[in-house]
Amino acid sequence: MSLPPPARVHIIGGGLAGLSAAVELAPQTQVRLYEAGPSCGGRARSYYDRALETEIDNGNHLLLSANPYTFRYLDLLGARDTLRTPGAALFPWYDLRDGLAWHLNLGRGRVPYWLLSPHTRVPGMRLREMAGLRNLLRAGPGEVVADCLVPGEFSRRLLEPLAVSALNTDIDSGSAQLLGTIVRRTLAKGGKACQPWMAARGLSRSFVTPALDWLKRCHAEVHTGQRITEIVREKGRITALNSASGPIRIGRDEAVILAVPPVVASALLPEVEAPDAFESIVNAHFRLPVSTRAKGVVGKAGFVGLVGGMAEWVFLHDRVLSVTVSAANRFADIPSEVMLNMIWEEISQALNSVLTTPLPLTRPRARLIREKRATFAATPLQARRRPGAATSTVNLALAGDWTDTGLPSTIEGAIQSGLAAVAALGFRSGYSKQD
């Protein structure tokens, strides 16, 4: 006979993994969530930046339509319409090396019609480079992305930028198997799976506020500013959580989901083997003196991908241009001012011809944010250090983008991991093992 599910679940960590678990559990049982920071959202949240005098996201986030758990979460919360999309698998690109602008429209179906004509393909690509995709789909656990790619413009202009931004790890060390999973769920399924989506008015309005509203309606408790400093265990079960405001007793019929970053998880539970190497992401935000809009495909997409320089993705908001630089450990020694100037030059080159109002000649007010541990380094070695949701402590489950989701560190992985933890504790959840 299986045991009844716990009467209360305590969730440590209010990032998207913890929120996903809380949202799923709240209609089923009592939920208490503890978040160390002043607000929930973790690495996917918005905040007001005083220097720029506007709200920004701590990092630009791009989602693809092949993120089923993310859309399920948003639909449950009634928040899908807080995202925007060009409505097609449309990706504008600009090559800084040779000043070439082009775009990819992957269509809707599985058949890659875009490959049939040199006008719709990646410029300069040779069809034999497509073997790189097959190699990624068949990659073993020890292979890195560079082992799989066939040199050429398809790799340089599409697969490498895709790899670096999806894995947040360079192609010489990034896991080919993890990238293969992304390819299997996106490019291999056709344009319908590759439509880009972004938070229209900030990550918190899409992913955090609707979740907190839902939790309130379900009478769940959310305690921000409450850092859990110790997990007390007796005879294989958690009996208390310690925090600065005193111990929290965990009853025999209660359980815990630990949804904190890997370094914190290993500090609280020394036996947990978790990723211990990380990659940073740099985001540069430029506050424009006047509003500007982009014409044509860039205007429709709301972003542009750059190759051949430092900047990788530029997101266009009304008076803010936000730029992402992934796998950014390599730029750790470059001073922020220098990086801002380099990025400003690159985006001026890429955007000026498509903007309704050209960018100012001198760089405007700007902010550079380095998320030092933005994601775990998605290498084959680190991939082996990812634990599943279930643990040997009977009333404990793990969640977080770093657990064994089969995906790199992503919103989709974080939300999926929350559901896997809920299932591991014996509750109903939308989780089913994929791939």
Ligand X SMILES: Cc1cc2nc3c(=O)[nH]c(=O)nc-3n(C[C@H](O)[C@H](O)[C@H](O)COP(=O)(O)OP(=O)(O)OC[C@H]3O[C@@H](n4cnc5c(N)ncnc54)[C@H](O)[C@@H]3O)c2cc1C
What is the helix (H) or strand (E) element at residue 344, kind and residue range? helix 336-351
Q: Which is nearer to ligand X, 216 or 372 (CB)?
A: 372
With the CA atoms of 124, 129, 134 and 138 taken in that order, what torsion angle do they form, in degrees rounded to the nearest 10?
-120
Name the residues that contact ligand X, by CB under 6 A. 12-18, 34-37, 42-44, 59, 61-63, 227-228, 259-261, 264, 281, 283, 371, 374-375, 400-401, 409-414
CB of 93 to ligand X, least distance (A): 17
DSSP, collapsed to helix, strand or coil, labels residue 114 as helix
Q: Which is nearer to ligand X, 152 or 302 (CB)?
A: 302
CB of 43 to ligand X, least distance (A): 4
CB of 353 to ligand X, least distance (A): 26
CB of 36 to ligand X, least distance (A): 4
Q: Which is nearer to ligand X, 134 or 189 (CB)?
A: 189
Q: Report yes or no: 292 and 357 within 8 Å, Cβ to Cβ.
A: yes
Q: Which is nearer to ligand X, 35 or 95 (CB)?
A: 35
Q: How many CB atoms lie within 10 A of CB 113?
A: 14
Q: Give the residue among 98, 60, 67, 66 at the shortest CA–CA distance from 306.
A: 98
CB of 120 to ligand X, least distance (A): 25
Q: Which is nearer to ligand X, 11 or 298 (CB)?
A: 11
CB of 111 to ligand X, least distance (A): 27
161 φ, ψ to 5°?
Answer: -60, -35
Q: Which is nearer to ligand X, 261 or 302 (CB)?
A: 261
SS (H, E, C) 207-274: HHHHHHHHHHHCCCEEEECCCEEEEEEECCEEEEEEECCEEEECCCCEEEEECCCHHHHHHHCCCCCC
* Alpha helices by DSSP H, 269-410: 296-301, 336-351, 380-383
